[in-house]
Amino acid sequence: MNRCPFLLLAITAASASWGAPRGASPSLEAAEAFWQALEGGLASQRDAIPEWHAAADSVAARYLAGGRIWVGDHFPDFDGEACNRAGGLMAIGPLRDMGRARTEGASHLDVVLLGLHDGREEERLVVRKLRSLDVLIVGFGARAAHPEAAAGCHAWLESGAPEVVAGAPAASVLAVANLWAFNGEVISACVRRGRMPTVWQSIMMPGSTERNERYLPRRIHDDVLPPAVEAGKVAVSYFDSLRTYLTQFREREWGRLVQAGEAVRSARRAGKRTFACPLGGHLRPTSLDLPGTAGDLDALSRYITAADLADSLSRGDALYIQGYTDAPGELLAAAKEAGATAILTLAGRRAEPPERAVTDIVLDAQWELGDATVPLAGYDVPLLPPSGFMSAALYWVLVLAAE
């Protein structure tokens, strides 16, 4: 087997230029600090892109030679975030399926994108096991929280912020951004090598079902090859998009966030319950709690029915729904009938903001219908979805605003 050495990466958090307004409540100061950590972390991650070009190119070479890309492990929903996503690789699978697939050959070319979240001892053991299987390991997280596991990875993408900032899991939210930026650079490295991997189109787009079904059996296109893209360009574009979304939310939605936080806080003061229902996207930010994170909301199933929701809610409760691009009318109606305050995050459509009148408080998630945000010249769909990152950012900033 050919082995390529990589420098393990380390970057430090950059600081943002704004802080909490004078006289802000402690909860708003925490929300501001978390938002600042995300902005600074994205800036650090962007600066670090050249440090992991070699890793992305090696993954591309393995993929084009028949290797498979797996995603896991002790990071809740890290695999769900990466698999079957608009703008993401079609031929990528959850790490839990790797053992069964290894019987099909080419395992020495396989790659594992390893998300590290809670610093458990099992993470170090997983890395040791993966190294014994002779696969390439690319790690994502905060090195300070996972020093031994990070040292065992062949490449490391540092989150750019501490594991917990102001009561929110900043490093894990930022790891999602690095996961997608790395995927984008793997795709562009494949293009520079003369092949275009197949990529999902959002199922919300017209014609996507037929288009995705046509390409799903293939790992690599035989009908299209976009012009070569300079190394780093896709990742830079993705990070810049996320930073724009954070800035826009801070400028346009912060007042509504304050209202939402007060609604949750009022429900708690009255002895009522507060719930979160992560409908949209594949990452459930409710699962990213850690020791030291703020008290979160009671998680409901993303598959909950209106009838079950009505049974769960009482008058005066507060409900947060992580939406996608369409308002979940039946759930909102159930919340209204129960007398609960509903808070909904929703993406816009075709440069139009989401409809505000659908419920009590609507927070604009900033991204738009189609999800993927980075255009690739000569290819029919854009790359890399922002929804997972933004959903996690919005959930945890609400949790802090409600403290």
Convert the pLDDT of each residue in 139-177 to its tens digit.
Answer: 999 999 999 999 999 999 999 899 999 999 999 999 999
d(CA 180, CA 169): 18
The structural domains of the chain, ordered by start, are 26-244 (3.40.50.10490), 253-401 (3.40.50.10490)
Average of per-residue pLDDT values in the chain: 89
Kindly tell me if the per-residue pLDDT of 351 is higher than 70.
no
Q: Kindly state the percentage of the chain with pLDDT values over 90.
A: 76
What are the C-alpha distances in Å from 195 to residues 40, 43, 374?
A: 35, 30, 19
Q: Which residues contact 220 (CB under 8 A, 6 or more apart)?
A: 64, 190, 195, 196, 197, 198
d(CA 320, CA 299): 10
What are the C-alpha distances in Å from 390 to residues 102, 229, 363?
A: 34, 26, 11
What pLDDT is stored for residue 65 in this prediction? 95
Across the range 66-89, mean pLDDT stands at: 93
How large is the greatest C-alpha to C-alpha distance in the chain, in angstroms? Answer: 63
What pLDDT is stored for residue 325 in this prediction? 86
CA 247 to chain centre: 17
According to DSSP, the β-strands at 92-94 and 69-73 are parallel
What amino acid is encoded at 313 in this protein? L
Kindly tell me if the per-residue pLDDT of 201 is higher than 70.
yes
Residue with tokens 């994205």: 42
Across the range 330-345, mean pLDDT stands at: 96
Across the range 90-105, mean pLDDT stands at: 78
What pLDDT is stored for residue 138 in this prediction? 97
Nearest in space to 264 (alpha carbons), one of 306, 298, 307, 308: 298
SS3 content of the chain, % helix, strand, coil (to 5): 45, 15, 40
Q: What is the tens place of the pLDDT at every residue in 247-269?
A: 999 999 999 999 999 999 999 99
d(CA 402, CA 258): 8
236 vs 132: which has the higher pLDDT? 236
Kindly tell me if the per-residue pLDDT of 327 is higher than 80.
yes
Across the range 15-38, mean pLDDT stands at: 68
Across the range 18-38, mean pLDDT stands at: 73
CB 159 within 8 A of CB 41: yes
Give the alpha-carbon dihedral of 299, 303, 308, 313, to 10 degrees.
30
What pLDDT is stored for residue 96 in this prediction? 87
Nearest in space to 226 (alpha carbons), one of 192, 180, 186: 192
Nearest in space to 287 (alpha carbons), one of 95, 46, 131, 74: 74
CB 315 within 8 A of CB 340: yes
What pLDDT is stored for residue 223 in this prediction? 96
pTM above 0.85, yes or no: yes
Give a three-class secondary structure readout of 125-175: HHHHHHHHCCCEEEEEECHHHCHHHHHHCCEEEECCCCCCECCECHHHHHH
